[in-house]
Amino acid sequence: MKAGLFVATMLLMAACAPEQRFDNVCDPLSTSYDPCACLFLTTPCPLGTQCQVTAGRAECVCPTVWCPADGPDRTCCAPKMVCKDGACCMPSCKDKECGFDQCGLPCGTLNGDCPCGHECTKEQRCVFVACNNRECGPDGCGGTCGECKGCGVFCNDEGHCEYDPCHGIECGKSPCLGGPYCGDCPDGQGCVDGKCVSG
C-alpha cells in the first residue's frame, strides 16, 4: 500500500513539474540553450568575426573593420588591415619616405610630403633639390646653397657666383686687387666707402 502511494505521488509531481528540454541550443527553455551555437547552425559567422550576444540576440561582430561597410559580400578584415575600394588591404610603407602606399595611406612623418626643399621620387624617397643648379644664395628653407668667395665675386639672381669688381660700389676705385675705377658721384655728393652720399 505504501509502495503504491509513493509511485502515485512521484507520477503526480512529474506531471506538475515544469517541462524540461535538453540538447536544443536554439530553445530558450532548454538547459543547452546557446544563442551563438544556434546562430552557427543557421548562419555561421564569417571568418575573423566573433559571436556577441546582446539582449539575448546573437550576432556576428567584426572586431576590426567590415569591407565593404555593408552588404551580403562584406568581409571582416584581418587585424591591421584597412578597407580600400571594397577590398581588405594591408598598409605598408616599407622603404617609403613619402607619397602613399597601396592602400592609399600616407607614408613618412609629414602626411606623405617631404621636408622643405625636398621632392618625392618615383621610388618614394625624399631627395633634396632646392640647390639643384645653384651654388650660392638661400635655399628657400632657411638654409643656404653656398657662399661665393673672393673679392668682387657675388651671388647673382640665378644662384651662381659671378665676378664684378664694382658690384655694389657706386664710386671710387674697386677694393679688389687691380680692380677698376667704378665711377664718380653726381655734383654735390661725395664718395664714402664706395657710396655716394650728400655732403
pLDDT tens profile 46-98: 888 888 888 878 888 999 999 998 888 889 999 999 999 999 999 999 999 99
Write phi, then psi, for 20 (nearest 5 degrees). -110, 135
Start-to-end CA distance of the chain, whole Å, equals 148
Residue 57 cell numbers, joined: 540576440
In terms of Cβ atoms closer than 10 Å to its own Cβ (0-12, 13-18, 19+), residue 132 is: exposed
**144 pLDDT band (50/70/90 cuts)?**
very high
Residue given cell 540538447 in the structure block: 23
pTM of the predicted model as reported, rounded to 2 decimal places:
0.61
Give the tens place of pLDDT for each residue, 162-185.
999 999 999 999 999 888 999 999
The answer to which of 18-22, 90-94, 141-145, 192-196 has the lowest mean pLDDT is 18-22
In terms of Cβ atoms closer than 10 Å to its own Cβ (0-12, 13-18, 19+), residue 137 is: buried
Residue 198 three-state SS:
strand
Residue given cell 651654388 in the structure block: 135
Write phi, then psi, for 10 (nearest 5 degrees). -65, -40
Asked if 95 and 105 touch (Cβ cutoff 8 Å), the reply is no
User: Within 10 Å of residue 4's Cβ, how many Cβ atoms?
Assistant: 8
Between CA 188 and CA 170 the distance in angstroms is 15
Residue 1 in this model has a pLDDT that exceeds 60: no
Asked if 140 and 128 touch (Cβ cutoff 8 Å), the reply is no
DSSP H helices, the chain, are: 2-16, 35-42
